[in-house]
């Protein structure tokens, strides 16, 4: 194991972490990695059956992990989920806003319906905002609160035929900057990760040409996998990043460079 990753994992032992969209894909990778690092994890998702199965699997292996239903499109669901997570763990030290929907993939701007646009914004933007707002009290009480918002590098290079999603992730990046200034008074760090096209279930719909475009454009010529993203997120949640806030970190093998 890489020394930096090991150090971040050790620093997260006993940390109380909430993850949204943790039932599968990148979210499940966050949950598993945090559990292995000794963190206490409560995760939510609309995929109840998959979420319960993952929690049962990790709990059976001796990890402190629990699942609760969460629908980011429903403000009441968000409030209930945060309260349940904080009550179960006796507070909250960190939040990973991972849950999102795409829905507009493969459609040109004039082909996206208002209903699709609103659905994507309600989950990806409003849902992230409400999660942060609901968690603020608990993160303040932690004394070392940290939020990591999962954005996307599509908002940095302007991916076509994905407008609603790209716009929503651009909003998440802007929100991260504003929340970092607001929440800084409470000692809460707020940062964002912008992954590239990662090989998970949620990207199975992406055409082969887009996968090839990413592969050819990366400085590191290989497919991106969830483990490429979990390490940077662990760092931002750890005490090693307590003076890092309001930042966006592209994690895409050099496809987009600052």
Mean local confidence (pLDDT), 43-68:
98
Q: Hey, which residues are catalytic here?
A: 165
| Pairwise pLDDT comparison (223 vs 141), residue with the higher score | 141
Whether the CB-CB separation of 128 and 175 falls below 8 Å is answered with yes
CA neighbor of 103 nearest in space, from 50, 168, 171 = 168
Are the C-beta atoms of 5 and 234 separated by less than 8 Å? Answer: yes
* pLDDT tens digits for range 106-161: 999 999 999 999 999 999 999 999 999 999 999 999 999 999 999 999 999 999 99
Q: Are 33 and 230 in contact (CB under 8 A)?
A: yes
Question: What values do phi and psi take at 83, rounded to 5?
Answer: -60, -45
Is a pLDDT exceeding 90 seen at residue 2? Answer: no
- What angle, rounded to 10 degrees, do the helices at 127-142 and 75-89 form? 20
Question: What DSSP state is assigned to residue 124?
Answer: I
Supply the DSSP symbol for 121: H
- Which position has the higher pLDDT, 240 or 214? 240
Q: Can you list the alpha helix ranges (DSSP code H) found in the chain?
A: 3-11, 25-36, 48-60, 75-89, 114-121, 127-142, 154-157, 163-183, 208-217, 227-237
Look at the pTM and tell me if it is higher than 0.85: yes
Of the two residues 200 and 41, the one the predictor is more confident about is 41
Task: Give per-residue pLDDT as tens, 159-212.
Answer: 999 999 999 999 999 999 999 999 999 999 999 999 988 877 666 667 788 878
The SS3 assignment for 42 reads: strand
Distance from C-alpha of 125 to C-alpha of 132, rounded to nearest angstrom:
11
pLDDT digits (tens, 9 = 90+) for 69-92: 999 999 999 999 999 999 999 999
What domains does the chain contain, in order, with CATH numbers? 3-251 (3.40.50.720)
């Amino acid at each position: 194991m890489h020394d930096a990753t090991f150090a971040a994992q050790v620093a997260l032992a006993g940390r109380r972490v909430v993850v949204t969209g943790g039932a599968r894909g990148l979210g499940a990778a966050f949950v598993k990695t945090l559990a292995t690092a000794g963190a206490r994890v409560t995760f939510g998702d609309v995929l109840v059956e998959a979420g319960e199965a993952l929690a049962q699997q990790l709990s059976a292996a001796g990890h402190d992990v629990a699942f609760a239903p969460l629908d980011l499109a429903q403000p009441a669901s968000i409030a209930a989920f945060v309260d349940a997570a904080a009550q179960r763990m006796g507070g909250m030290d960190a939040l990973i806003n991972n849950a999102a929907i795409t829905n507009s993939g493969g459609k040109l701007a004039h082909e996206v319906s208002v209903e699709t646009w609103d659905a994507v914004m309600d989950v990806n933007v409003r849902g992230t905002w409400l999660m942060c707002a609901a968690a603020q009290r608990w993160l303040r009480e932690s004394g070392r609160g940290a939020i990591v918002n999962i954005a996307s590098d599509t908002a940095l290079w302007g991916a076509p035929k994905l407008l609603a999603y790209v716009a929503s992730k651009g909003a998440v990046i802007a929100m991260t900057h504003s929340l970092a200034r607001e929440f800084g008074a409470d000692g809460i760090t707020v940062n964002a990760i912008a992954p590239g096209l990662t090989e998970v279930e949620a990207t199975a719909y992406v055409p082969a040409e887009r996968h090839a475009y990413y592969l050819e454009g990366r400085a590191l010529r290989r497919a991106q996998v969830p483990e490429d993203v979990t390490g940077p997120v662990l760092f931002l949640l750890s005490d090693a990043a307590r003076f890092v806030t309001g930042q966006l970190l592209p994690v895409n093998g050099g496809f987009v460079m600052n």
